[in-house]
A and B are shown apart, each in its own frame.
Chain A
Amino acid sequence: MGENIIRIRNVKKIYQMGSESIPAVNGISLNIRQGEVCCLFGKSGSGKSTLLNLVAGLEKPTEGQIIFHKKHIERMNEDQLADFRQKYVGFVFQSYNLLPTLTALENVTLPLIFKSVPVKERNERAMEMLKAVGLEERATHKPQEMSGGQQQRVSIARAFVNRPPVVFADEPTGNLDTRTTYEMMDLITGLAKQNNQTLVIVTHDLELSEYADRIVMLQDGRIEKIEDRRKGKEETETAAREKGTAGKAEGEDGHD
């Protein structure tokens, strides 16, 4: 796995509700590595979405540092944040967040439009992306003419079209049925792995963590546990193999 692309240093986010201070994120330090699929897992109110918003520069931390490559996200002004999002970040949301008046293709080209990519090139790239998510037939359809799964595919195409180093997904399958959920996760992790892009997924669904290289479990604004599935997977796989052979041997032994 690559070097650390995002370094989170003792980050706190405290909301003031009248006289009461509610710490949504309460001192989290975490490194996210280039090319990994990192899952922020926790129950509702655990601070996982807030953490994602902080890392994506949508909110400012009350305390702490968030460093993307060598840039301090928490110190950026609105202009710099906009530039940062345009160049380095893609988003997938639970509620798709497509522009309802634009067609699927136009929705996918939008990030390229803001980046002033010439018409021909951006249409080609957007079409390519739509093909990758299996929606080239639906290019001219508007969001309301598509199913939830299809809309989420468009939104995934939009997040990846600009080939950002990091893609953030906030409960990307929250509105989808189980079968579509797996399709979507296969698609999104597949795309990320293809180009060695980092994927940060926020979810409360433990099944999705199947797809993650690492699972960061959050509770009450703190990290409860980090599970390195990659290492773990390798370990369990080796263990299983060993166990399997051992068991077999045992079994053989037993039978014999």
Chain B
Amino acid sequence: MNTKDLISMAVRNLLKRKLRTVLTVLGVVIGTASIVVMISIGIGMNESFAKQLEGWGSLQVIDVSPSGGMSYDEESGRMKQEKKQDPLDAKAVETFKQIEHVEAASPVKTSYFMIGAGKYVADANIMGIDPAAMEALGYKVEEGRALTAEDSKAIVVGGGVEFYDPKLSWEMRYSSEPPQVEILDKKVDVSYDWSYGTRYADKKLKTTKMEVVGTLSAEGNDSYWVIMPIKELEKLQKARDDWEKSKYGGNSSSNRNQTKEFDEVRVKVDKMDNVQAVQQQIKDMGFRASSLTDQLEAMKETTKMLRIVLGAIGAISMVVAAISITNTMVMAIYERTREIGIMKVIGASLRDIKLLFLTEAAFIGLAGGLAGIVVSFGVSQIVNLVAMQQGSNMTSSIPVWLYAGAVAFATGIGILSGYLPAQRAMRLSALTAIKTE
């Protein structure tokens, strides 16, 4: 018997008992829809966490810092000295770039400089990075543009960096609104003299003119930073060390800045799902690594129980649906005993009989699955509407794989539920079957 005949015969048989077929399919619809909706709420929750975290920075970026400090040992419950690993230097950056799924890696050095724009100044945390990697690292440039490989004397200023009038006293500074300073596409003065702008400033010291090519969003982890090419930062640090030495003599305040080691390396991973794996690889090399996905994982962990319960509710209705498919098929076999016998006598193979019943069960599953995802879509819309009105983050989100998976799953459940009845039909004795009146 060929597949086409098998399918048309199965569909005919189902249509013959319309009401019962529809009722059984309805069970599958409810089962499928409840699983899909429950899973979608779980996914929706995770997505809203991710969205929340994305406001803080890119979820695809791993911050790597040097090891060698103290860390908490989970096994012994004590603090322990980490063994010193390879330095976090240019070589390490190259190694990170070689890891699979890593799109970009940039060294990071941080410092603290003054920025002057007209009569206003700002105390700025400076982050020196590889300008070529800025775009990839996911800094949220609000206006202007990110740094590029060609940039040297260019900076991008975080939206949270506040300017003030250095001539004012502290009290006046905090009681007044921070001034709005237009700096985009303007040249600003960068100085490592902390007294810059005040009367204590070193008048002989020349500032470095840099162009503000872009600004970052005022929200998120990077908003208080000023981003600059790392080469420029290193130049400024060196100049500062020389200046401090000449001014105060003796040791420079920041020896570390002169080593080849970076404060941090930022690694961009191609997909969020790969972040944890890459992070682990970096940890295995002996570095410390953290990313926003750590927080995401923690959030997911806390809602895991809730998601399991939701999934279980869906699963129960699917089990009920499966039992009802089996019941329908067993009933069908009782009713069609004679028909099965006739088919066997006139040349149906055992396989034909078995496949016929399996196909019927599969179609019940398939129809239920298809209708189920349509219902799920509707329910999901309603859940989101209600969530929006209530301001809840319990949203529902159905990715394409869930739709496809639900249909496949429902069909699979159909086949599984039909297996026992099909086996039974196959084993019916042809003779007793045709004798049944």
Contacts and interface: CB of A to CB of B under 8 A. Distances in A.
B335 to A, nearest CB: 12
B386 interface: no
A114 B349 CA distance: 7
B338 to A, nearest CB: 8
A158 B346 contact: yes
Contacts of B348: 82, 86, 114
A5 interface: no
Interface in B337-379: 338-339, 342-350, 352
B313 interface: no
Contacts of B12: 101
Contacts of A90: 346
B431 A86 contact: no
B434 interface: yes
A40 to B, nearest CB: 17
Interface residues of B, number: 22
B1 interface: yes
B182 interface: no
A53 interface: yes
B392 interface: no
A101 B2 CA distance: 20
B342 A99 contact: yes
Contacts, number: 58
A158 B342 CA distance: 11
Contacts of B342: 97-99
A58 B430 contact: yes
Nearest to A118: B2
Nearest to A162: B347
A82 B430 CA distance: 10
A119 B400 CA distance: 38
A82 B344 contact: yes
A183 interface: no
A67 interface: no
B16 A59 contact: no
B75 interface: no
B150 interface: no
Contact of A113 (B5, B16, B431, B434): B5
A85 interface: yes
Nearest to B12: A101
Contacts of A85: 344-347
Interface string A168-212: 000000000000000000000000000000000000000000000
Contact of B345 (A58, A78, A79): A58
A157 B348 CA distance: 17
B7 to A, nearest CB: 12
A93 B352 contact: no
Q: Which of B5, B9, B343, B352 has the most CB of A within 10 A?
A: B5
B345 A91 contact: yes
A82 B349 CA distance: 5
A114 B350 contact: no
Most chain A Cβ neighbours within 10 Å, of B342, B343, B350: B342
Interface string A46-66: 000000010000110000000
Interface in A112-134: 113-116
Nearest to B9: A113
A111 B347 contact: yes
A16 B64 CA distance: 83
Given A58-B430, A99-B339, A82 B347 contact: yes
Interface of B: 1-2, 5, 9, 12, 16, 338-339, 342-350, 352, 430-431, 434, 437
10 smallest beta-carbon distances between A and B, as pairs: A86-B347, A58-B431, A114-B347, A111-B347, A82-B349, A114-B348, A97-B342, A111-B346, A116-B2, A113-B5
15 contacts: A53-B431, A58-B345, A58-B431, A79-B350, A85-B344, A86-B347, A86-B349, A91-B345, A91-B346, A97-B342, A97-B345, A97-B434, A99-B343, A116-B5, A158-B346
